Amino acid sequence: MIARLIVGLVRLITGMTARWAGPSRPDRPCVYFANHASHLDAVVIWAALDRERRRRTRPVAARDYWQRGALRRYLAARVFHAVLIERHRVTRANNPLDDLAGALEAGFSLIMFPEGTRAADREELHEFQAGIYHLARRVEGLPLVPVHLENLNRILPKGEVLPVPLLGSATFGEPISLGPDESKEEFLARARQAVIALEAD
Amino acid sequence: MPHLDRETIWLFAGVLGALVLASAIGALLRWRFGRGRAAETLRNLNARIVSWWAMCAVFAVALLTGGVGSIVLFAIVSLLALREFITLTPTRRGDHRTLAWVFFVILPFQYWLLYDRWYGLFAIFIPVYAFLFIPIRSALAGQTEDFLERTAKIQWGLMVCVYCVSHAPALLMLKLRNYEGQNMKLLLFLVIVVQISDVLQYVWGKTLGRHAIAPHVSPSKTWEGFIGGVLGATGVGTAMWWATPFNVWQAAAISLLIALLGFAGGLVMSAIKRDRGVKDYGHLIGGHGGMMDRIDSLCFAAPIFFHVLRYYF
């Protein structure tokens, strides 16, 4: 209920339009990865999906950030069913890949922001963190859908609490997947380029 | 619900008749030429006509709820237009709080002033107080890159999308001699003349248009469309003189003025779109583009029409 309310509110504020640039939408669990500038990002991607897909899609978020404070904990656990992962003290015991692969195996798609953190005021995309590569290597044939979010950094920039009702959009691209002999650097550069390419459309 | 006199009912009937006629012509054209070269244009034409029905219905409902409904409707129109305008003209991080003030305080306050019938402040609030406030708030945010440009964009958006548009519902608070309680017809008159001018410019431009007026600004604005549209709208406005406080000649002159200003508004807003490299301000209204694409002509015509009425009638 609250989730639907938030989705409705975000759609209203951002006048959000979802565009599918590519013809195909994967029917198996996949990873949506996007540029990250605003708290609204995950909700916007979420809101852009149809209800059936939305029910089976979970955002991936940093545990340290989303465990701070009761409201954040509530939103992460109860509303968005976020998969919380460790950013800093990663050990063999709390390896985030286990949780992510587990969620995919359970039939959930994931929303990831490979830049790692929200970027402040800047135009181009940060280098991608390696997590998405390791996940793609671990889950064979995993489809990765690039998503470009437009204007969200202006609607609700980092450090602000009051969104301004400008128009935002989410462009979904053609899914990519890890090539057989692709190196980490090659793959991450290609994934990053896939998001940048959607910007031009 | 306000009192509906016979003249208002005739105006509504006229709009309804025009819509029915347009739909019939649209259906006829699709039946006759729907598979030919003009298929795309005809699809857009029919989408436009469907949107016209919806827009007229919303406008009629707002008018029939009286003053408050019209004020709320135009406040929403302003909000949607301003969001398209600011989305298109990039601002920076340092403007975020300024924009929050613009959207959540300045815009609603301007329309509250209308509701409160506080004309003195209504007339100067945005040109003076918001004008000064915006650069102050942005300067406090501390970001200086493109400062003048960013400030000017926000001020311009407010002037066009909020200040100018708010003069349309402001017609309802005018006190005219021997015309008490009938101001709704002035708003109808303005909107009908402005929009029929747009429609006829489109129709004449599509059918006879050959010579572009300002090819660098808008290839779709032609001399043929301009002359046909302005003369046609002047004719329609003149033919409505019986519903206004004007005599026939005054109605003709004022309709001509409204149509010319409407054309100018469309031209200026096209220049902005062209500079930003887009065709439409948005996708809100099927076939038409965004809200701003639909009301650009109203923005320029409304304040002048308001002043003509206020000072001469």
Residue B301 Ramachandran class (φ > 0 left, ψ -120 to 50 alpha, else beta): alpha
CB proximity A24 to B under 8 Å: no
> From B94, which residue of chain A is nearest by alpha-carbon distance?
A121
Q: Is residue B13 part of a domain?
A: no
H-type helices in chain B, by residue range?
6-33, 39-64, 67-88, 96-101, 107-115, 119-124, 131-141, 147-157, 165-166, 184-208, 223-238, 248-276, 291-312
Q: What residue in A sits closest to B98 (Cα-Cα)?
A: A164
Do the chains contact at A157 and B91, CB–CB below 8 Å?
no
Q: How far is Cα B39 from Cα B62, in angstroms, rounded to an integer?
A: 35
Say if B135 falls within a structural domain. Answer: yes
Answer whether residue B107 is part of any domain: yes
pLDDT at B279: 81
| Chain B interface includes A164 (CB < 8 A) | yes
Residue B61, domain member (yes or no): no
Residue type at A28?
Answer: R
Chain B contacts of A162, Cβ < 8 Å? 100, 104
Contacts of A157 in chain B (CB under 8 A): 93, 96
User: What's the pLDDT tens digit per position in A71-127?
Assistant: 888 888 888 888 888 877 666 666 788 888 889 889 999 999 988 777 665 567 788
Closest partner CB to A157 (pick from B79, B93, B283): B93
A144-A148-A151 Cα angle (round to 5): 155
Candidate from A15, A153, A164 with C-beta closest to B100: A164
CA dihedral (B147, B150, B155, B157) in degrees, to 10, reads: 180
A-chain residues near B283 (CB < 8 A): 17
The pLDDT of residue B171 = 94
B235, B253 contact by CB (below 8 A) = no
Q: Is B96 within a domain?
A: yes
pLDDT in tens, chain B (313 residues): 567 888 999 999 999 999 999 999 999 988 888 777 778 888 889 999 999 999 999 999 998 887 899 999 999 999 999 999 999 887 888 889 999 999 999 999 999 999 999 999 999 999 999 999 999 999 999 888 889 999 999 999 999 999 999 999 999 989 988 888 888 999 999 999 999 999 999 999 988 888 888 888 888 889 999 999 999 999 999 999 999 999 999 999 999 999 999 999 999 999 998 888 888 888 778 788 889 999 999 999 999 999 999 998 8
Consecutive H or E run containing A62:
strand A57-62
Task: Determine, yes or no, domain membership for B94.
Answer: yes
**A168 vs B154: which has the higher pLDDT:** B154
Alpha carbon distance B78, B170 (integer Å): 13
Instruction: Count how many residues are written for chain B.
Output: 313
Task: Name the pLDDT band for A37 (thresholds 50, 70, 90).
Answer: confident
Q: Hey, are the CB atoms on B96 and A120 less than 8 Å from each other?
A: no
Our count of domains for chain B comes to 1
Look up the domain containing B106 and give its range: 67-173
The β-bridge partners of B230 are none
Q: Are B287 and B26 in contact (CB under 8 A)?
A: no
In a domain, B201, yes or no: no
In a domain, B117, yes or no: yes
Residue B259: its pLDDT value, please? 96
**A150: closest chain B residue by CA:** B87
Give the pLDDT score at B301. Answer: 96
What pLDDT score was predicted for residue B136? 94
**ipTM for the whole complex:** 0.81
Nearest to A162 among B83, B100, B283 (CB): B100
Residues of chain B with C-beta less than 8 angstroms from the C-beta of A120: 93
Name the token pair of A100.
């992510």
Chain B residues within 8 A of A160 when measuring between CB atoms? 96-97
Please check the confidence at residue A22 and state whether its pLDDT lies above 70: no
